[in-house]
Structure 1
Amino acid sequence: MQNDGDGIMAACPQCKEFVRALIAADQPSLLVVSNVFTLGRSTEGTDLSAQDLVTAAQAETATYGMPGRVVYLAPPPQGVNLGACYSQVSSPAACAAAVDDTWIAMWEATAAAAAASGDHAIDALPFSCWEGICPAFAGTLPTKYDQTHLTVPYAEHIAPYLTWALQSQGLIANG
């Protein structure tokens, strides 16, 4: 996938090999994979669809030798810049964001691919949105520190839900 950062594209093969070596050395019982749901362009400049990106992710995880033990954890949908929407004169509701079409397409492709391959998928909407709207706060906790990445306090807050989600799919033991 095309990236404008200096050296990122050149480092990709080396990084993937490093991850494969770590997984082979650790022999985990379960591998959780997560990435932002956004479309992009190939290194040749061609637009990539949700299906293209999911297929590429599955091709990479297939090299890890862990069939049936890969969990694709959907990211929360893209949020908004808190610095631009929240102030002393606005409400936290001003920072709510709708689930976008790209997220929906990526999730549908991910869930279908995981089911077809015998792997697993966990939907982010139950812990990040309600009826298609994703608040920037859970009570007093900001959910993200930018438009994409969860805050540590919110990640800790949702950990019991993620544990339950893994248990409900029989991927980790209860208790």
Structure 2
Amino acid sequence: MTWRPSARIVRPGGCATAQLRGMALQPLFAWPDSNLNGGADYSVDFSSLLSPGETIEAFAFDTGGAGSQAWTYLSGTIVTAWLSWSQAGSVPVSVCALGSTGASYQVVVTISVSATPALIAASPPPAPGVDISAVNSATMSAWLSSLPTQPPASGGWWNNANIPTYKAPAS
């Protein structure tokens, strides 16, 4: 199964009531607190900022020297970085995404890093794999070519003249 971010996700989009009244409110975004030498994966979901049909082409995280980045990951409209913290205090992290229409979007997320070091220093897990959740010609061709061309004896998927076919396991 492909890894998906599930916690520490902020979702910018503004306050609908304020937008109707013509006010430009910039809500404050924050990730849960951490400690020096602590770390985790941190995400921003840009779905509410993108135009219909727009995708994220590139993105970047900037901790301003208060943390280090082990890896980044894109899953649909959610951008993620595994960050560890080397500076205490209220740390602003800028997260920028480039949309497929050429528009850029930037969000500043704050995290409060305690001066008390983490009891166990954080070490990043392996970087997540490639997200192939979107079915397109390339992913379908790759999947079909990985299937056997004869029905599996124990059941399962097989490539039947480029038609994915499922054989139920014998009872």
Normalized per residue, the structure richer in helix is 1
Q: Which has the higher strand share?
A: 2
- Considering only CA atoms, is the larger Rg found in Structure 1 or Structure 2? 2
